[in-house]
């Protein structure tokens, strides 16, 4: 347990602030290649949110495609094809899920979609964007257990309706898997818009040719700024429609939409040329400065400081790394420890927890002006994914840099809150969170459950040659978050916490949520009923789940 003070450095010796200030200059790419890999659970959520965006963008272009089927006809044909009986009804989980998706942008008729109502009228009334989200919900359910016959029938209808619409779900998924490696476009675009006042103040523009070919006078700075923003947003909207087609549509539908695509591309090009004619430094739809200098939403929200503070409570006391001199213990799933890069798995887990969870924690603070305008606000259970992808991927890599600093760049041991490891215990035949041999016992009674928003469950996709069971940390999904939990001070809470034979028996969960959705997991809440989101306040909430 004892280590030399000169070897086990204090956590403040880490270059956390330097890592947090890393900008989108692509110098971090080398770090990322050697740093922690991205968890499949987080990545899948990012991919799905990307798919929602492109699906909606494709829907705006679909209206101009030759011979395209309307969403109403696409669903009607699917229902007629399968001849689903009235005995197939809306379940309680169906109704609960649809109620969370019922927003101003995507209206759900909750009378038609109430529990016990026939499924056909409800499915027929759903906006097309919800077909995809419900298809994923059934996909997630199928990963937990075999779908009942009624759910299989609903999933088949939705799948055929998507196909009738020309959607290739597999293509959409694969294209978005590539997209999540690229810069988070919505934040970069807002950076461009935010740069307009300074640029228009320092540049003089006279008459230029508008996208329609007419000459317009932009000598007035106010007019110049408003016109540039209008042209940029219109250009981006057309870019999104083209990308939506390329991402979403199957081969034959892309052929049907080729004429519409060419018309939209011509309009996009005319707006690009109009913007360039003013002298504005447009490069591939944005500016080099915004690609290089845009800070992450995490830094802007202040959440990074909270996460770092929670992990920085340990200090060396007579050669022992502990939190005795702190007013707070390590967070759930962590313990004071001295570790170095050579410890197998520590870099991966630390990078995963710090990079992933920190990014997810900012979902309520993301200022998505472009995303909101595009309709992304209708996907609350995936809202955090954009925050995470914008931080970890393609130039918004401050948190990935932090994970890499902790996990792969240390050459000596460091005293800090280190994540415990998720592994399979052969004796108890369960997944467990276990500290290392050098860790100090934590005063947090929930130190041996995963960090908030995560679960430690059996990993089913490890190599087929491995005969033993394996467990892995993954993100809590919508099924985990929607489980009915305790009443706390008159408020209903939700989520799986701890263990239960009613869930996956070997798994260990920390999926407490305030409203039963993924975006209201405790990780992502800025405030708790007792006040700020702190380790101590989370402990009070978790205590109710353990009673």
Query: In whole numbers, what is the pLDDT of the chain averaged over residues?
Result: 75
Between CA 259 and CA 339 the distance in angstroms is 60
Residues 514 and 398 in one domain: yes
Q: What is the mean pLDDT of residues 517-545?
A: 87
Examine the domain organization and report whether 391 and 428 are in the same domain: yes
Does the residue 203 lie in any domain? yes
Q: Are residues 148 and 223 in the same domain?
A: no
Q: Give pLDDT, residue 4.
A: 37
Lowest-pLDDT choice from 96-105, 111-120, 502-511: 96-105
Task: Specify the pLDDT at position 325.
Answer: 75
Q: Are residues 336 and 260 in the same domain?
A: no
The answer, yes or no, to whether residue 122 has pLDDT greater than 70, is: yes
| Residue-level pLDDT at 536 | 93
What band does 13 get if pLDDT is binned at 50, 70 and 90?
Answer: very low
Tens of pLDDT, residue by residue over 414-433, are 788 888 888 899 898 899 99
State the Cα–Cα distance between residues 288 and 282, nearest whole angstrom. Answer: 8
User: Is 231 part of a structural domain of the chain?
Assistant: yes
Q: Following DSSP, what letter does each residue of 381-448 receive, concatenated?
A: GGHHHHHHHHHHSTT--HHHHHHHHHHTS-SS-EEEEEEPEEEEETTTTEEEEE--TTPPPPS-TTTT
Instruction: Report yes or no on 42 lying in a domain.
Output: no
Query: In the predicted model, what is the mean pLDDT of residues 435-449?
Result: 91
Please compute the mean of the pLDDT values over residues 149-153 and round it to a whole number.
Answer: 89
How many whole angstroms separate alpha carbon 293 and alpha carbon 529?
Answer: 36
Reply yes or no on whether the pLDDT at 440 is more than 80: yes
Record the tokens describing residue 466, joined without a space: 């491995």
Q: What is the mean pLDDT of residues 373-381?
A: 29
Any domain includes 176: no
Residues forming beta bridges with residue 491, ordered by sequence position: 488
Is there a single domain that holds both residue 367 and residue 432? yes
* Alpha-carbon span 247 to 32, nearest angstrom: 26
Domain boundary among 114, 147, 165: 165
Q: For the residues 71-87, what does the mean pLDDT come to?
A: 89
Q: What is the pLDDT of residue 10?
A: 44
Instruction: Give the chain's domain count.
Output: 3
Report the pLDDT value the prediction gives residue 362, as an integer from 0 to 100: 31
Given this model, what pLDDT does residue 258 score? Answer: 93
Closest of 312, 347, 332 to residue 17, by C-alpha: 312
Instruction: Using pLDDT thresholds of 50, 70 and 90, give the confidence band for residue 310.
Output: confident
Residue 318: CB atoms within 10 Å: 7
Sign of CA dihedral 158, 458, 342, 359: positive
Query: What is the structure's pLDDT at 31?
Result: 31
pLDDT at 141: 76
Cα–Cα distances (Å) from 181 to 114, 288, 292, in that order, read 40, 18, 16
Residue 60 lies in a domain: no
Question: How far is it, in rounded angstroms, from Cα 519 to Cα 38?
Answer: 20
Note whether 277 and 317 are same-domain residues. Answer: no
Q: The whole model's pTM is what? A: 0.57
Residue 446 has pLDDT above 70, yes or no: yes
pLDDT band per the 50, 70, 90 thresholds, residue 345: very low
In a domain, 43, yes or no: no
Measured CA to CA, the distance from residue 86 to residue 118 in angstroms comes to 5
- Quick one: pLDDT at residue 364? 27
According to the model, what pLDDT value does residue 304 have?
54
Q: Cα–Cα distance between 361 and 366 in angstroms, integer?
A: 10
Identify which has the larger pLDDT, 531 or 472.
531
Determine the structural domain holding residue 214 and report its residue range: 196-286
pLDDT at 277: 94
User: pLDDT tens-digit profile of 190-207?
Assistant: 889 989 999 999 999 999
Torsion of CA 472, 473, 478, 481, to 10 degrees: 120
436 with 514, same domain: the answer is yes
The answer as to whether 179 is a domain residue is no
Per the model's pLDDT, the better-predicted residue between 539 and 340 turns out to be 539
Whose tokens are 């739809």? That residue is 285
Higher pLDDT, 248 or 412: 248
Of the three residues 121, 146, 165, the one that is the final residue of a domain is 165
Sign (positive or negative) of CA dihedral 352, 358, 361, 366: negative
On whether residue 4 sits in a domain, the answer given is no
**Domain end: 265, 286, 307, which one?**
286
288-297, 346-355, 367-376: the lowest-pLDDT one: 367-376
What CA–CA distance (Å, rounded) separates 310 from 444?
12
Question: Is 408 in the same domain as 495?
Answer: yes
pLDDT of residue 165: 92
- Sign (positive/negative) of CA torsion 462, 467, 469, 471? negative
Residues of the chain above pLDDT 70, percent: 72
Distinct helix (H) and strand (E) counts, the chain: 24, 17
- Residues 523 and 473 grouped into a single domain: yes
DSSP H stretches of helix in 449-507 = 478-482
State the Cα–Cα distance between residues 355 and 39, nearest whole angstrom. 10
Query: Which range has the worst mean pLDDT, 60-74, 282-296, 357-371, 512-526?
Result: 357-371
> Do 268 and 308 have their domain in common?
no
Q: H or E stretch including 175?
A: helix 169-179
**400/491 same-domain check:** yes
pLDDT at 340: 58
Average pLDDT over residues 441-468: 77
pLDDT value, residue 502: 82
Question: Looking at the structure, do residues 414 and 312 belong to the same domain, yes or no?
Answer: yes
């Amino acid at each position: 347990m004892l280590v030399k003070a000169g070897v086990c450095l204090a956590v403040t010796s880490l270059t956390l602030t330097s890592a947090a200030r890393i900008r989108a200059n692509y110098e971090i790419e080398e770090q990322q290649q050697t740093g922690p890999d991205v968890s499949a659970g987080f990545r899948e959520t990012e991919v799905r949110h990307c798919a929602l965006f492109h699906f909606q963008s494709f829907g705006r272009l679909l209206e101009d495609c030759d011979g395209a089927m309307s969403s109403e006809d696409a669903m009607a044909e699917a229902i007629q094809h399968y001849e689903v009986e009235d005995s197939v009804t809306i379940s309680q989980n169906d109704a609960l899920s649809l109620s969370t998706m019922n927003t101003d942008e995507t209206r759900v008729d909750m009378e038609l979609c109430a529990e016990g109502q026939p499924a056909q009228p409800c499915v027929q009334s759903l906006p097309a964007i919800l077909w995809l989200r419900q298809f994923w919900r059934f996909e997630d359910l199928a990963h937990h257990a075999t779908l009942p016959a009624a759910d299989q029938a609903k999933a088949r209808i939705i799948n055929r309706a998507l196909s009738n619409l020309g959607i290739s779900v597999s293509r959409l998924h694969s294209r978005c898997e590539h997209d999540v490696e690229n810069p988070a476009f919505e934040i970069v675009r807002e950076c461009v818009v935010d740069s307009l006042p300074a640029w228009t103040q320092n540049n003089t523009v006279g008459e230029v040719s508008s996208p329609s070919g007419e000459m317009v006078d932009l000598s007035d700075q106010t007019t110049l700024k408003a016109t540039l923003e209008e042209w940029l947003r219109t250009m981006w909207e057309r870019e999104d429609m083209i990308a939506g087609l390329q991402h979403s549509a199957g081969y034959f539908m892309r052929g049907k939409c080729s004429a519409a695509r060419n018309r939209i591309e011509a309009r996009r090009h005319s707006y690009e040329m109009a913007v360039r004619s003013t002298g504005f430094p447009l490069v591939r739809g944005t500016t080099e400065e915004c690609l290089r200098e845009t800070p992450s939403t995490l830094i802007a929200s202040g959440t990074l400081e909270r996460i770092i503070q929670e992990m920085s409570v340990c200090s060396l006391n007579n050669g022992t790394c502990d939190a005795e001199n702190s007013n707070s213990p390590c967070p759930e799933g962590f313990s004071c420890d001295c570790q170095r890069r050579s410890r197998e798995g520590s870099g991966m887990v630390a990078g995963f927890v710090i990079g992933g969870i920190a990014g997810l924690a900012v979902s309520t603070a993301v200022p998505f002006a472009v995303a909101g305008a595009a309709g992304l606000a209708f996907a609350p259970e995936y809202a955090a994914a954009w925050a995470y992808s914008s931080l970890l991927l393609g130039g918004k890599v401050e948190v990935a840099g932090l994970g890499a600093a902790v996990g792969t760049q240390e050459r000596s041991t460091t005293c800090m809150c280190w994540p415990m490891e998720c592994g399979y215990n052969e004796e108890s035949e369960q997944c467990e969170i276990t500290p290392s041999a050098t860790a100090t016992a934590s005063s947090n009674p929930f130190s041996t459950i995963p960090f908030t928003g995560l679960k430690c469950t059996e990993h089913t996709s490890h190599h087929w040659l491995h005969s033993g069971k394996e467990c892995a940390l993954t993100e809590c999904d919508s099924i985990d978050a929607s489980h009915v939990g305790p009443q706390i001070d008159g408020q209903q809470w939700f989520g799986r916490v701890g263990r239960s034979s009613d869930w996956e028996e070997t798994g260990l969960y920390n999926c407490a949520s305030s409203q039963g959705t993924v975006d209201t997991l405790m990780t992502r809440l800025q405030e708790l009923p007792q006040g700020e989101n702190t380790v101590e306040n989370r402990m009070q909430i978790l205590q109710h789940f353990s009673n």
